[in-house]
Structure formats: C-alpha cells, structure tokens
Structure 1
Amino acid sequence: MPDATPAAPDAAGARPVTLDRRDGPYGEIVLRRRPGGAGDEGDIHEIIANGTFLMDTSDGRSERLLIDAAQAALAPDRRDGLPSVLIGGLGVGFSLAHAAADDRWRRIVVVEREQAVIDWHHEGPLARISGAALGDPRTVILHTDLVEYLRAAAEATDEPTDHYDALCLDIDNGPGWTVTDENASLYTPGGLADCLDRLNPGGVLAVWSAQPSPAFEEALRNAGFTGVRTEEIAVARGVPDVVHLAVRPA
C-alpha cells in the first residue's frame, strides 16, 4: 500500500487518512481511516469509490439486516435445508461476517469486482472484521463483476451455472444511486430477470439501499417476484437505510 496521506477533515473535525488509493477498470477506489468516536471500537475505516462514499465500519446493522431478512423470508423447505447465499459486494465485510456466524447457511459465495477490496480484507485493516469468515470452509470469494456473473446464468446454454437460495446484493447506494453507470442495468427488467434465474424456487432476493424506493418495489413485482416488501433501519442522518425483499415463486 502507498504511504498514508491525510484527507480533508470530516464534519466532526477529525482528519481522515488515506491508507490506499488505486485506479482500476471501474475507476478510483480508496480506503480511508478516521478516529472513532465514543462507543466505537477502534478507528473507523471507510470505502470511497469514484469520489462517492460507499460504506464504513461505524455501524453494520443494515448490512447484518440484509442477511437476516433474507434468511427469514426463505420458504420453509429452503430455510430448513441449509440454504446457500450469494453476497454481492464484499464491502467492509459486515454481511460476510454475519453470514459466516450463522451455521444455517450451507454455502456462502461473495462476488467482489475490486481486487483492492479483497486485498484490504486478506492483508489490510478490514481483516479484523472478516478474518474468521474468510477462513470458514463454506466461504468462497469470486473476483468478478456481479452484473456479469448474474448475466452468465441467463446466457449459458451448455454448461451448468450455480443457483442460490438467497441473493444479498449491496454494490450501490441504491437502485437510483449506482457507483458506476454499468451497475444501473442490475435494476432494469433484464437485470432483475437475471437475478430471478440465479435463484432456486422459493429463494429470496435482498437488495440494500440508502433510501426507500416504491418504484423499485414495483419493478420487482413486474419482474415476476412475489412477497415484495421493504424493511427499514433508522440511521443518524434521518433517512432510513432499507432492504428490499422479493421472493421467486416456488
């Protein structure tokens, strides 16, 4: 990693420090550290992509909700049969760590397109969150683009593709606030059809968002999902984080 460099002070006056900055096929990705406030465990690390804040280690409640809500929404036969889960986006590792702490998941696959993010978990400060999960034999990390990975199932003709009981996706700030333009296709009818194809019957699609989206709920219904609903979790800034949930018909 390059030498740490200071960034502009945040709203609380603390000066974040840039630990790593890389340019890749999807633009710039940055890992920063800032001092934790009262009640926080150590420093806070945050990920910035192309100048857009993605997530930090200050509060993982909504990332854990992403996993728990998907597990709870599974059809009983899927839930009792040790289901498999695909996590879209490694992020700071909260979702992976929470899934690995639950022995009800039989297989945990994480799709992450940024090599830098994977490195920060294997060799950097984010290992404190994900270290045990990465060592879990159920965990598989795939270094690939989520949109392309999901599309591959629909395009496959002569080779079997993996299917899952739950897709837990957290690669953007929401359907209307994507990190890159390419990600927008995930929330279109074609992208949602790809998600449907990757799910086993009775499986659950869970999508994290920084704000509610009635339009996305309607798009899920139009794509053929049932049981569409949204769970909210309050955050300090006022607008709740949400998890959109939808079920592939059995």
Structure 2
Amino acid sequence: MPNAVNAPAHQPPVTIERRDGPYGEVVLRQRGPQYEIIANGCFLMDTSDGRSERLLVRAALDELATRTAPHVLIGGLGVGFSLVEAAAEPRWGHITVVEREPAILDWHRTGPLREITGRALADDRTELVEADLVAYVRESAAAGRRFDALCLDIDNGPDWTVTDENTTLYSPAGLAACRAALTPGGILAVWSAQPSQRFEGCLRNAGFCRVRTDEITVARGVPDVVHFAARPA
C-alpha cells in the first residue's frame, strides 16, 4: 500500500484526474507513491497512513463482539482504508459502502485506487451504493432497514465540513436518523480531524449512550479522532 513516509516531503503532486461532480470539483492527485483526494479545493484524505480510518471499523466491531455476522454501513469510500479493514475481517456479515461522488467510485472500480481496494470490492459481502449518505440513512430508517454499525467518514468532522450539505448529518435530525437506522445496541462511529465536546453533547442529546472519543496518533499534525456512541439496547 502506498506510504507517504517514502515520498520526499517537497515532491510536488501530479493531478491524475480532475472532475466536476454533483457536489463540486473532486481531484485525484499523486505525490510519489501516495494518492490524495481533494474536494472543492479542500484536502480530504490520502494514502499516507489510514490507521484512524481502520480503527473506525475495527473498534465498532469490537463493540459488537457478541453479535453474529453484523451488518456495517461505511459512509464515504474515500481512499478505501475503512472498506479494506472491514473486508479483512470475516466476522462482518455484510458490508455496505455509501459514496456520493461518481468519480471516487470510478477511481476504485477501474482507476488507480483499485490497487488498494480491488480485493475488498471483489468480496461477496461488499455492496457499493452511489448515494448521498444523509439521504440514504434517512431512507433506510424510514424503510425499516437496520445496521449493526454506522462507520461514517464523509468529511473532516462535525466542526469542519467540506460542503454545507454535510452539516445535516451532525444536526439533531441527522443524528436521529442515524439512531433510527441502527439496531438496538448498534454502534455509531464518526471520524473527525479534531475532537469536539459539542458533538459529544449532541450525541447524548440525540439519545445515544456510551459516548466516547478516541484519539489516534498520526504521522503529521494533531491526532485524528473517532467519536463513538451506541443506540440503547
């Protein structure tokens, strides 16, 4: 897997593809062996580390240790670390990945990012859905579809959204939809570039329990965090 540690810090990025999508411009760049995704000029993620994106899924499964073949919804395909982590774990029964950007889906299905996720995409448990995450979660809740875990990584976190539309996920209505889309005792895990005590309060106000924030040391900058919460059993 590409690793930024082996790439010179001064090496300029090379744009592989720039595309206008339904939510603005999305760009795939390469810097040495490392890939980067930029949305509307805002850095989203790269392939330099991925430990926090993996923890997003791994810790959710740990919380579901007594369940048989749980169903996980991964919100945001990104560079694919969360999907790869889920597919590497045989305990997951079904893996649904929701991604709204057609370009990102294409980069994984037939483009350069296939080298990261090709095996995970070929897993019979994996289902890719092209949809807006917030809309999909609301529709799932209304239709009675339930997930054992929601692992969400659609932008830089509740206090630093990439698009205005993403703020609805962290609103009382968005969190209520997440709660409704979970099975009793199900786990909500939300990736963020920084901790948010305000968001912890929002989770509790939305009826979640066992709220906590885990910090994950990364190679550069401040630690990433994952907010965890559970729907009461």
- Tell me how many residue pairs correspond in the alignment: 227
For residues 2-81 of structure 1, the aligned pairs below 5 Å read 12-35=9-32, 43-74=33-64, 76=65, 79-81=66-68
| Residue among 202, 213, 223 paired with 2:206 | 223
Q: Is the 8 A contact 2:187 2:228 kept in 1?
A: yes
Task: Compute the RMSD of aligned alpha carbons.
Answer: 1.4
The runs of at least 4 consecutive aligned structure 1 residues that moved more than 4 Å come to none
For residues 45-194 of structure 1, the aligned pairs below 5 Å read 45-74=35-64, 76=65, 79-154=66-141, 156=142, 160-194=143-177
The runs of 5 or more residues in structure 1 that have no matched partner are 1-9, 36-42
TM-score normalised by structure 2 residue count: 0.94
2:192 matched to which residue of 1? 209
Task: Give the % identical residues.
Answer: 66
The runs of 5 or more residues in structure 2 that have no matched partner are 1-6
Q: Is the 8 A contact 2:57 2:82 kept in 1?
A: yes
Deviations 1:172-209 (A, max 9, x none): 10101111101101001110000001000010000000
Deviations 1:208-243 (A, max 9, x none): 000111110111001000000011111233411011
- 1:148 & 1:111 partners in 2: Cα distance? 10
* Secondary structure at 1:80 match in 2: coil
- 2:123 & 2:111 partners in 1: Cα distance? 18
The one-letter code sitting in structure 2 at the alignment partner of 1:173 is N
Q: Is the 8 A contact 2:49 2:219 kept in 1?
A: no
Highest Rg: 1 or 2? 1
TM-score normalised by structure 1 residue count: 0.88
Shift of 1:11: 9.0
- 1:51 & 1:69 partners in 2: Cα distance? 31
1:4 matched to which residue of 2? none
